[in-house]
Chains A and B, each alone.
Chain A
Amino acid sequence: MKEVRIAPIKNGTVIDHIKPGKALKVLDLLGIDGEERMALSLAMYAHSKKAGSKDLVKIEEKELKVDEVNRLAILTPNASISIIRDFQVVRKFNVAPPEVLEGIVKCENINCITNQNEPVPSRLIMTRKDPRTYKCHYCGRLQSDIEKNII
């Protein structure tokens, strides 16, 4: 497969090693829908030496914060984040799954009070790291498929 190249960015954030096919969902999870008028580059199913293929997102002129990107771990746990200033990587880190998912993933229990018209965000608490397990703070249900219930 021919390597896909995206031009380097001067300032901003590069999200690399995204699970193939998830780049659009990554943008969605970050709340980026095009209305922000940010310059974005995006590659899907690009060649990766490590994983065979991957997605990649470059966001210009915006440095994402740790809290903002950690939620990506529920979608693509191996993603790495690079903060770019003047074409140089000034900081690089991997996403880490948050201990609490608030308002990001709905409880899978359809009878949970948070799936009604109540003024509270969903709240899932990590109860185990390996395998990663979340439990609803309200109804106590262990969640079997976090990704499926991303809001």
Chain B
Amino acid sequence: MLKGKDIVAINDLSQDEIERILNKAREMVPIARAEKKSRLLEGRILASFFFEPSTRTRLSFETAMQRLGGSVITVTGQEGTSIIKGETLADTVRMAECFSDIIVLRHPREGAARLAAGFSNIPVINGGDGAGQHPTQTLLDLFTIKEEFNDISKLHVTIAGDLKYGRTTHSLSVALSRMGASLSFVAPPTIQMPDHILDEISGMGADHELSSDLMGCIPKTDVLYMTRIQKERFPDFEEYIKVAGAFRLDLDMLENAKKGMIVMHPLPRVDEVHPDIDPTEHARYFQQAFNGVPVRMALLSLILEGDI
């Protein structure tokens, strides 16, 4: 049962719970598109605490709440909050629970959502903690893949770009491994998948390889998941310059791709996916961004109202 549950890491969810969320998300699509109306969460308040820049995640959570008739209180950035005065996160979440029914938290420090969940008496959803976990991105990624291919265990997924600092790739890799997909991690060695994630994946016995050859991986790939090289995650600017732009996907590179292969990207992109790919049958990144709304609607409704 998901009612009242904190969602900090994808591993907090059982396989059944993930399936339940994805099925619920499918039911939510017409409401997300405003083809149907819902007052399911009327009178409920979401505290949206984003202490780090975000557009998609914040807006889709807020849209999800409002599409279900709920309302939102928002804090963005640390300015204007008591954090700047030195308030601890532990105190901030205990304050937030006085005003709301559920908290979504994005924070620049890893482990922040786990800490917040420990102090809060209302459910906490992790909206991304530093270079750590981003479970709702993973859920919408899984939803996007499942809408395309029903059986994830038969898929080969290539995840490319910034695998060291890109938190979306960490949660996704763990979830896909659990579901039996085989994986290629394609990145320059300095920003390859961290050991603790590889360790976790190996522990599940998942078939995976490390590579720096994007072209070579494309023919066997069913899902190509591209990510941005994130400048803000590099402690050293020179290292960023060195690796930035090393992984750019253009139309020519898709010549040997399988017919049904899809290209995903958590967005925003810079130049790692060429706009020429946008009109092709492969592009799914805008659909993926939309899917954030029904998936978060499913999550909010299941956590606040239970399995209805």
Q: Which residues of A contact B (CB under 8 A)?
A: 107, 109, 111-114, 116-120, 135-142
Are A141 and B90 in touch, CB under 8 angstroms?
no
Instruction: Find A112's partner among B86, B90, B110, B199 (CB 8 Å cutoff).
Output: B110
Q: Is B180 an interface residue (CB 8 A)?
A: no
Residues of B within 8 A of A118 (CB): 88-90, 115
Smallest beta-carbon distance A142→chain B, Å = 4
B interface, over-half SS: mixed
Residues of A within 8 A of B111 (CB): 107, 109, 112-114, 136-140
Instruction: Find B196's partner among A107, A112, A142 (CB 8 Å cutoff).
Output: A142
Are B114 and A141 in touch, CB under 8 angstroms?
no
Q: Is B112 an interface residue (CB 8 A)?
A: yes
Q: Which residues of B contact A (CB under 8 A)?
A: 9, 86, 88-90, 107-112, 114-115, 118, 129-133, 195-196, 199
Instruction: Find A140's partner among B88, B108, B196 (CB 8 Å cutoff).
Output: B196
Instruction: Find B109's partner among A116, A119, A142 (CB 8 Å cutoff).
Output: A116
Are B107 and A140 in touch, CB under 8 angstroms?
no
Q: Please give me the 7 A-B residue pairs with the lowest Cβ-Cβ distance, nearest first.
A: A138-B111, A139-B111, A139-B110, A142-B196, A113-B111, A113-B109, A113-B112
How far, in angstroms, from A112 to B129 measured CA to CA in the complex? Answer: 9
Given the known interface contacts A111-B109, A116-B109, the answer about A138 and B90 at a Cβ–Cβ threshold of 8 Å is no
Residues of A within 8 A of B131 (CB): 111
Given the known interface contacts A117-B88, A118-B89, A118-B90, the answer about A141 and B115 at a Cβ–Cβ threshold of 8 Å is no
How far, in angstroms, from A112 to B89 measured CA to CA in the complex? Answer: 13
Residues of B within 8 A of A117 (CB): 86, 88
Instruction: Find B9's partner among A107, A113, A140, A142 (CB 8 Å cutoff).
Output: A140
Residues of A within 8 A of B114 (CB): 113, 137-139
